[in-house]
Amino acid sequence: MPLQKLPSLPPETLPDQSTTAKSYYRKLVKYAYHQTREHDKVELTASTIVAVGAAFIGGFTSGSVLSGIVAAAVTFVAMLIVIFGVQLAFAPRALYQAKEGEIAVLKAERDKLEEMLQPKFEILYGEAYPFTEDTGEYKFHRIGLKNIGNSTVHGVAVKMDGFTSGRTYNSLPLRAMNVPPHTRFSIDPGATAYIDVVKTTLDAKQLVMLSLSIFETRQTIVYEGSYHLTFRATASDSRSCERKAILDVDSYGRVFIKPDDDQSVQKVGSTPSS
């Protein structure tokens, strides 16, 4: 059985250089035409040429008005042609400068976007003040949120997910130290904001009574063990940062917040928060 001949593919077509050149020349002409119309001296120059031309020609034609008008019109058109020619001569440079300006704007937008996409948060843990603070009535437990970027981060908010003790808390807003609840804040480059995670106290039986920091009256008993949770920091001009952690309660009723070593990879979100 004879093999069927496959249809041949059409030859590759290269960009038509003549078409590209024509498009470029059209842009030059369009620019020169626009500049000629917008030229702030065209009307003044044309009026002057008309007056001078009419007077000059009229004077030499013994008062022939028609000859003066014709000469003035010719002079006017000639002047427009000269202006158009000058603008056309400068058009390549003007178009080049305009293109350079567009490129500069695009580069600035790209740099701004790259800056926004860079991770700017680092979550810190510790046991000394201000990570922990004993007021006598309560003991506050905090994490640190450090700005590792080169610019101030605005509209920062921190939430906690996945904490389970009697019930599971998700998207629970946390409060920055000395900042009113539900208030977004800013962090300067290299600075650290401390975030209230929980506050604890011991009841009569020395059991740990835990309150989520922005809910002053809600308390729950937490027993010895490890409680998994996730911190999520967002900002209006930076990518979000998410990190898993563990809240440990030991046999003495002491509370520690530390990174989840098994899942300690810091994840960076794809878009700034709204």
Q: How many helices (H) and strands (E) does the chain have?
A: 3, 16
Per the DSSP assignment, residues forming a β-bridge with 163 are 169
- Rounded Cα distance between 220 and 211, Å, is 7
Residue segments in the chain with a per-residue pLDDT below the cut of 50:
1, 3, 6, 9, 40, 62, 263-274
For the chain, the C-alpha Rg in angstroms (whole number) is 38
- Per DSSP, 249 falls in state E
- Do 140 and 189 have their domain in common? yes
Residues 95, 132: one domain? no
Cis geometry, peptide bond prior to residue 130 (ω within 30 degrees of 0): yes
193 near 241, Cβ under 8 Å?
no
Same domain? For 104 and 134 the reply is no
Residues 118-176: tens digit of each pLDDT: 658 889 999 999 999 998 888 889 999 999 988 899 999 999 998 887 778 888 889 89
The DSSP letter of residue 144 is E
| Residues 101 and 127 reside in one and the same domain | no
- The dihedrals phi and psi of 126, each to the nearest 5 degrees, come to -170, 175
Are 146 and 261 found together in one domain?
yes
149 and 73 within one domain: no
**Average pLDDT across the chain, whole number:** 76
Q: Are 176 and 220 part of one and the same domain?
A: yes
pLDDT digits (tens, 9 = 90+) for 161-178: 988 877 788 888 898 998
Domain that holds residue 262: 121-272
